[in-house]
Amino acid sequence: MTVARFRSVVIDCPDPLALAQFYAAIVGGTPRVEEADWVVLETPGAPRLAFQQAPGLTPPEWPRADRNAQQFHIDLDAGSTWEEIDAAEQEVLALGARLLHAEDKEDFRVYADPAGHPFCLCRIEHA
């Protein structure tokens, strides 16, 4: 027996519709405005993302842990080859993301979305 069912990951941001559109361009789906300060993005087979208006939000300082640290980040499967990762990187940068961290030895790259929240494009070996 479970205590509750998973509903949403909620992301605070200054402009909920703009950030929902950013993620929709990456993972698919159509943003749905439920209230002026609340937008939902549902994609088949994926967790529901909700975007909540937070005026004056100070984005996290990645990778700091001593002040204004990230509270979460989203990992996105961008493919199993470096060519797929490179192509995905070009797309997210064109959408307004900013590269925060990339190491040749790691299977992920860290970006900030337009509101400053970190997310990763991950290279995942598919079986």
> pLDDT for 65-97, tens place per residue?
787 777 788 999 999 999 999 999 999 999 999
Q: What is the pLDDT of residue 4?
A: 66
Number of helices followed by number of strands (H, E) in the chain: 2, 8
Backbone φ and ψ of 102, nearest 5°: -150, 125
Question: Do the beta carbons of residue 120 and residue 73 sit within 8 Å?
Answer: yes
Q: What is the mean pLDDT of residues 98-119?
A: 92
> Model confidence over 19-37: pLDDT tens digits?
999 999 999 999 999 999 9
pLDDT band at 50 (very low <50, low <70, confident <90, very high): very high
pLDDT band at 41 (very low <50, low <70, confident <90, very high): very high
Residues 6 or more apart whose CB falls under 8 angstroms from that of 113 comprise 19, 22, 23, 96, 97, 119
Q: What is the pLDDT of residue 97?
A: 97
Give the C-alpha distances (Å, rounded to integers) separating 66 from 99, 119, 120.
21, 20, 21
> Between 37 and 63, whose confidence is greater?
37
Q: What pTM was computed for the model?
A: 0.87
The whole-angstrom separation of Cα 117 and Cα 22 is: 12
Q: Give the length of the chain.
A: 127
pLDDT, averaged across the chain:
91
